[in-house]
């Protein structure tokens, strides 16, 4: 094995030792109260998996299971519901007519369905742009929410561009979960909505006896909006323990890893991946300062590793699609193989560490599997 080790490809990995000292402002405290008042709200489970902890040589492993969030099979409804609420409240405060709006967005699947569901529940319209590579069943699920769906013969970034153009029409609002200069307020509200997930983790870990919180949180990353929310949550504490934060991306779309490597946000040409919700080529402009400041490490993984992790989680009773399983695959890649001890040290992990994996979608959210390709 050692003779062949030099021929093995290097793990796409980057560690950043100063991130735990970076600080930022927290999300608004009223976000969780808003979600708690929604009819379908309940905290999603935080599931401990001792067998994974034993395998990886750490103290405790928990999975935040987002396979059923506000009636949908992914976490995205947290951001969409809060952002639409803020948008409608602001329009009312500015004296705009309360007539029906069309909420426009681009999506790799989950965000678009969340916007469509929110629109339907509030008596609004939705128009969702879907890029090439999104599974037909995911598009059908958006249609089932009574939304208009436009299929784009190009990547995610092209779908975002077309959605932004469509949102210039009267009585139309773009509700996009990525930002760029000049379009930042609504994506910022979406990020704020995700903070409820982190607040729940705090409460659930305390109930499990892990009162100091996690030592590491592994986050699947597309444009980086969820990672921005997680960074804001854990890096806004002025005192106390600051966990390591690890981003996990597909090797086919590792825009955050490449941006961190270069020290500035860059776009990458994306390839095909079963991790459809992470198949994004450019970091969100408002997420980038948080990612650059607060992420301890980034890793990119292959589809086969995500599929293996999803199978293992299923065997342990956790429904997790390819994106949701990516944090487990990323953690395993970091803690095993050549150079693992150095990476473990960089993350500050040992035999008593507590790790939280964010499983952002259930199997129903993403029909992709390895056999599709």
In this structure, the chain runs to a length of 373
Find the mean pLDDT for residues 49-53: 98
126-173: pLDDT as tens digits: 999 999 988 899 899 999 999 999 999 999 999 999 999 999 999 999
pLDDT band at 5 (very low <50, low <70, confident <90, very high): very low
Residue 109: per-residue pLDDT:
80
116-126: pLDDT as tens digits: 999 999 999 99
Q: Tell me: pLDDT of 314 over 50.
A: yes
Residue 8: per-residue pLDDT:
47
177-224: pLDDT as tens digits: 999 999 999 999 999 999 999 999 999 999 999 999 999 999 999 999
330-349: pLDDT as tens digits: 999 999 999 999 999 999 99
Residue 135: per-residue pLDDT:
85
Q: Tell me: pLDDT of 366 over 80.
A: no
pLDDT band at 368 (very low <50, low <70, confident <90, very high): low
290-311: pLDDT as tens digits: 999 999 999 999 999 999 999 9
pLDDT band at 4 (very low <50, low <70, confident <90, very high): very low
The overall average pLDDT reported for the chain is 93
> Catalytic positions, please?
76, 108
Q: Tell me: pLDDT of 274 over 50.
A: yes
Q: What are phi and psi of 303, to 5 degrees?
A: -60, -40
């Amino acid at each position: 094995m050692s003779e062949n080790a030099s021929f093995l490809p290097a793990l796409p990995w980057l560690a950043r030792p100063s991130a735990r000292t970076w600080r930022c402002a927290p999300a608004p405290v009223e976000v969780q109260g808003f979600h708690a008042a929604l009819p379908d709200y309940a905290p999603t489970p935080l599931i401990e998996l001792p067998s994974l902890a034993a395998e990886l040589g750490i103290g405790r492993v928990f999975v935040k299971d987002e396979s059923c969030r506000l009636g949908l099979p992914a976490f995205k409804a947290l951001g969409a519901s809060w952002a639409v609420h803020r948008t409608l409240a602001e329009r009312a405060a500015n004296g705009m007519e309360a007539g029906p709006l069309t909420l426009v967005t681009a999506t790799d699947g989950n965000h678009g369905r969340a916007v469509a569901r929110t629109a339907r529940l509030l008596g609004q319209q939705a128009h969702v742009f879907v890029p090439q590579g999104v599974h037909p069943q995911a598009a059908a699920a958006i249609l089932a929410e009574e939304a208009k769906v436009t299929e784009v013969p190009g990547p995610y970034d092209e779908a975002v561009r077309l959605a932004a153009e469509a949102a210039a029409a009267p009585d139309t609002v773009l509700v996009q979960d990525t930002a760029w200069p000049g379009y930042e307020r609504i994506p910022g509200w979406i990020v704020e909505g995700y903070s409820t997930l982190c607040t729940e983790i705090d409460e659930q870990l305390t109930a499990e006896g892990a009162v100091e919180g996690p030592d590491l949180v592994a986050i699947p990353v597309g444009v980086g909006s969820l990672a921005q929310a997680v960074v804001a949550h854990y890096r806004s504490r002025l005192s106390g323990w600051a966990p390591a934060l690890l981003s996990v991306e597909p090797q086919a779309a590792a825009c955050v890893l490449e941006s961190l490597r270069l020290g500035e946000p860059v776009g990458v040409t994306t390839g095909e991946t079963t991790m459809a919700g992470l198949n994004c080529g450019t970091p969100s402009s408002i997420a980038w300062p948080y990612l650059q400041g607060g992420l301890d490490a980034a890793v990119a993984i292959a589809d086969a590793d995500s599929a293996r992790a999803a199978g293992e989680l299923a065997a342990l009773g956790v429904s997790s699609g390819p994106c949701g399983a990516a944090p487990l695959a990323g953690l395993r890649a970091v803690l095993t193989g050549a150079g693992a001890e150095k990476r473990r040290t960089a993350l500050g992990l040992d035999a008593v560490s507590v790790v939280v994996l964010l499983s952002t979608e259930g199997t129903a959210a993403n029909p992709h599997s390895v056999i599709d390709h």
